[in-house]
Amino acid sequence: MAELAGKSVYITGGASGIGKAVVEAFIKEGAVVTVLDRSADGLGELEQQLGDSVRTITGDVTVYEDHQRAVQCAVEAFGKLDILVSNAGVFDAFAKFVDVTPQAMSDAYDMLFNINVKGSFFAAKAAVDELKRTRGNMIFTVSGAGFYPDGGGVWYTASKHAQIGLLRQLAFELAPDIRVNAVAPGGTLTALSVIPPLRPFVNVVDNETKAKSIKRRNPLQIAMEPEDHVGAYVLLASDKARAITGEVLASDGGLVVRGL
């Protein structure tokens, strides 16, 4: 049986990588999905591929009104909202704190925290009333960097810790109406982008090197692809998880056994 039959989902950052894989998996499980992303091209491809099961909004997760437009679109198109997946994010590519100038440090902080943290605050705020109506749930995409050092530099690691704080407090405040959980993927082969202020301070590695490094670091030795994580999202989104809230489900090839 389809696990998400008839569910209406709002997801941010669904035009690429992990978010796109989640959109595809949710639709296969019977859901209809509204996607907010800043990539108009990526959203165009998604519409062509998925047709009537998807609605798209070109926008920026740092702009509250863009989330409002997306939630309104979901409700107008599909009659309700059951699930929010706050997934859009950017990376610092392991930029070293000591190397980065104070100005770049500040610019990087503003840009990365606005997208990774404020983007999740805004998504949750814009969706909360509709989710209350349906007794729905929220899922945040966090990361192994939300627990361990060396999953990114200080900006990314601190931002993912902050998202976990947001989910725990929201799970507490929004119970019993709304469940709030997270998926923590390990290193995954995607186009996750390095924010501009840090580009002068990092080495961008090719995909083959990245795959080898991801494989070496996790005990299951998987060079993880976005599709490897979708089972965790489907489970947390579904009614089968009705007793789960405040939980972070690691999908990382077993990093918990050894850390990053």
Q: Does 232 bind ligand NAD (CB under 6 A)?
A: no
φ and ψ of 26, to 5 deg: -65, -40
153 binds ligand NAD (CB under 6 A): no
Q: How far, in whole angstroms, is CA 178 from its chain's centroid? A: 18
Total residues contacting ligand NAD by CB under 6 A comes to: 27
The helix (H) or strand (E) run that includes residue 213 is helix 207-217
Residue type, 92: D
Residue 137 or residue 188: which is nearer to ligand NAD going by CB?
A: 188
Active site residue 64: no
Query: Of the ranges 67-75, 87-95, 131-139, 200-208, which one interacts with ligand NAD (CB under 6 A)?
Result: 87-95
Q: Are 100 and 201 in contact (CB under 8 A)?
A: yes
Question: Which one of 45, 47, 60, 107 is in contact with ligand NAD (CB under 6 A)?
Answer: 60
Question: Residue 56 or residue 141: which is nearer to ligand NAD going by CB?
Answer: 141
Q: Which residues pair with 32 in a beta bridge?
A: 8
Q: What is the DSSP letter of 188?
A: B
Per CB under 6 A, the segment of 47-55, 74-82, 86-94, 196-204 that binds ligand NAD is 86-94
Which residue from 185, 197, 202, 238 is in contact with ligand NAD, where contact means CB under 6 A? 185
Q: By CB under 6 A, what part of segment 130-149 binds ligand NAD?
A: 141, 143
Give the C-alpha separation, 103 to 108, whole Å: 9
CB of 184 to ligand NAD, least distance (A): 7
Give the CA count within 13 Å in the CB-facing half-sphere of 127: 38
Under the binding rule (CB under 6 A), the answer on residue 166 touching ligand NAD is: no
Which of the stretches 17-25, 94-102, 130-138, 200-208 binds ligand NAD when contact is defined by CB under 6 A? 17-25
Dihedral, CA of residue 92, residue 181, residue 12 and residue 217, to nearest 10: 40
Active-site residues: which are they? 156
